Amino acid sequence: MHGMIERSRPSLTFSLAKTPSGELHSGEFARDANTHSPRGHAIAETWFDTPDARLRAAGLVASIVDENARLTRRLGLWPGQYEASPWPEAPVEGATLSCRDLPDDFRKMAGLSPDDGLLIPTIEFTGERWPRALERAGVGVNADILSGRIEAGGAGLDVHEARVRRSSGRLGDVFAAARAFQSLAPMRVEFATHAEKGALLLAGQWGAPVGKIQPDLRAGMNVTEAFVAIAHACLRQFSLNAPAFNSTHQVEAVHQTRVAIRRLRSALSLFAPVLRDAAFDHLRAELKWLFDVLGAARDLDVLLDNPALATPDQRADLSARARVAHAAAAEAVASPRVDRLLFDLAEWIATGAWRRARAPRPLRDRGLSIGRFAARRLDRRHLAVTRGARRFDDLTESELHALRVEVKKLRYMVEFLEPLAQSDKARRRFGRGVRSLAALQETLGQIHDIDMGSLLLAGHASATDAALPIPSSPADRGDLLKRARREARAVVAAKPFWSLI
């Protein structure tokens, strides 16, 4: 799904593993919307920007679509959710785009003037589109099958997609029809747009691991709107890291995919009073399953990345185990179970029971402003962190690990809200606060790596190396504990800076 269920004509996009199959081009399920025959037509889309990429820097996209002998200008917010755009599509005469062609408010957001000249083409999509009417009684849903290629910066990417959109009726009809569509061929809900993929191609980064994606939070958003933006940012990161599992970057891909899942789980924790419905615990459990599968590979990667934590003989055994763990991680990420999880998450985010108008008292909080709601929730999370930090010297190994998890959750929650820090004072305090949490998280993570390395080595030792000492240095761990103690004091001393949003 491209970022969200759009406000006007909601749509859901699936990526297909290969060229659309015969099942998608024939049968009672999907036929041409006008002639009831499986015909397609050519489509092309070109994205534009200034030579110094000012549209992208301002979080904007502009493109021209060439379809059925018509040229249409599209303007939107990054990453290209045109159907949710505040600017309507408009016919144009030519295939070029200049600053003078742009609406005044769009130009202002990008810091452009009418005299700044022509924009340059940066990303191209060319392909074929097959419109379909889904023949289901009482369901106003259409579909497109799209197959083509995105090109940018001298690189290219083949894309095959099925898009289901509502023409009338309920939003749930989109998902009901999509489930039937999904049964015809292997497909997965897609959260990244063509513009987003093209930007990675342009930067030479397609197929490389993708770090955190900041949600587009804006002042005045309510709790529901903010959660949807945050959840889709996490799912976009997950989606964009999937190709890296088939590259030489698999170690980092595992890490960044876990970051995406951890961030989404943190969002579920932050918004739990609003979100908790019949599906909540199941979705959270499925995310934890996948997180744990990836964690088995990540723990071994961390151990192998630190030569001081294992002897050469132990490293050979650990390397073999890491290959098995990575194979299991890649298999899990590409599995039908994850296909179902992503679909269930997309459906729940868009139409879940938590959104219903009549809801118990805690769920009515979804209408609150995100600033008011988050400040209250972060105060509680901060209290849990400071309680652990104040008794730092008395914490057991397991309690240190629990504190690390709490610090990480608080940091992710705070980072979600950073775009809401509007004043210079708020931005400075957010920056200092996030840095202090990140420093403590990093140090506690290094302590955890030493402790986890000891456990892994103890559990994986063979008969030949059972007598070998585990090379974790008590002195190193002691130094890390001293540093963490100082950083914990800094976190305790910090005022709740999120009160400024």
How many CB atoms neighbour CB 304 within 10 A? 18
| Residue 80 confidence (pLDDT) above 90 | no
86: left (phi over 0), alpha (psi -120 to 50) or beta: alpha
The number of beta carbons lying within 10 Å of the beta carbon of residue 437 is 25
**415 vs 474, higher pLDDT:** 415
**Predicted confidence (pLDDT) at residue 145 exceeds the cutoff of 90:** no
Q: Alpha helices, DSSP H only, in 149-193?
A: 171-182
Q: Which pLDDT band, with edges at 50, 70 and 90, does 183 fall under?
A: confident
Dist CA 61 CA 79 (whole Å): 7
Q: For residue 134, what pLDDT is reported? A: 61
**Cα separation, 280 vs 333, whole angstroms:** 21
* Largest Cα span, the chain: 78
Distances (CA, A) of 319 to 234, 298, 324, 403: 30, 12, 9, 30
Q: What are the tens digits of pLDDT across the range 151-174?
A: 999 999 999 998 887 766 677 777
Answer for the pair 72, 89: CB distance below 8 angstroms, yes or no: yes
Residues 201 and 194: their CA atoms lie apart, in Å, by: 10
| Mean pLDDT score of the chain | 84
Please tell me the least confidently modeled range out of 252-256, 269-273, 364-368, 407-411: 364-368
Alpha helix (H) residue ranges in 58-170:
104-110
**pTM, full prediction:** 0.86
**Which residues 6+ apart lie within 8 Å of 90 measured at CB?**
72, 73
Percent above pLDDT 90 for the chain = 50
Give pLDDT, residue 290.
98
Report the alpha-carbon distance of residue 64 to residue 465 in Å, rounded.
Answer: 64
Residue pointed to by tokens 């799912």: 235
Residue type, position 387, single letter: R
Give the pLDDT mean for 319-332.
94
User: What does each C-alpha distance from 27 to 31, 188, 311 come to in angstroms?
Assistant: 7, 21, 61
Give CA–CA dist 363/346, Å, rounded: 19
pLDDT at 37 over 70: no
* Residue-wise pLDDT tens digits, 441-481: 999 988 887 777 766 666 544 333 333 334 445 558 888 99
* Contact call for residues 12 and 189 (beta carbons, < 8 A): yes
Instruction: Look up residue 116 and give its DSSP letter.
Output: G
Amino acid making up residue 452: M
Cα torsion through 29, 32, 36, 38, rounded to 10: -90
23: how many CB neighbours lie within 10 A of its CB? 13
For the chain, give every domain's residue range.
Answer: 1-206, 370-500
Q: Which residues face 71 on adjacent strands?
A: 66
Q: What percentage of the chain exceeds 70 in pLDDT?
A: 84
List CB contacts of 273: < 8 A, sequence separation 6 or more: 362, 363, 365, 377
Strands 30-31, 120-134: pairing kind: antiparallel
Query: Which residue(s) pair with 124 in the sheet?
Result: 46, 151
Report CA torsion sign: 378, 384, 387, 391: negative
At a CB cut-off of 8 Å and minimum separation 6, what does 263 contact?
212, 230, 233, 234, 237, 412, 416
pLDDT digits (tens, 9 = 90+) for 340-399: 999 999 999 999 999 875 544 454 566 678 888 888 888 888 988 999 889 898 998 889
Name the pLDDT band for 232 (thresholds 50, 70, 90).
very high
Instruction: Please provide residue 144's backbone torsions phi and psi, each rounded to the nearest 5 degrees.
Output: -125, 140
What average pLDDT does this structure show over 198-204?
Answer: 96
pLDDT of residue 2 exceeding 90: no
Q: How far is 491 from 322, CA to CA, in rounded Å?
A: 35
CB 38 within 8 A of CB 26: yes
> 29: pLDDT confidence band, cut at 50, 70 and 90?
very low
Contact 79, 1 (CB under 8 A): no
**What kind and span of H or E run contains 36?**
none
- Residue 210 — φ and ψ, nearest 5°? -115, 125
Q: Is the pLDDT of residue 12 over 90?
A: no
Cα 152 from Cα 46, distance rounded (Å) = 10
Residue type, 111: G
Fold designation for 1-206: Hypothetical Protein Pfu-838710-001 (2.40.320)
Which span out of 26-40, 326-340, 473-487 was modeled with the highest average pLDDT? 326-340
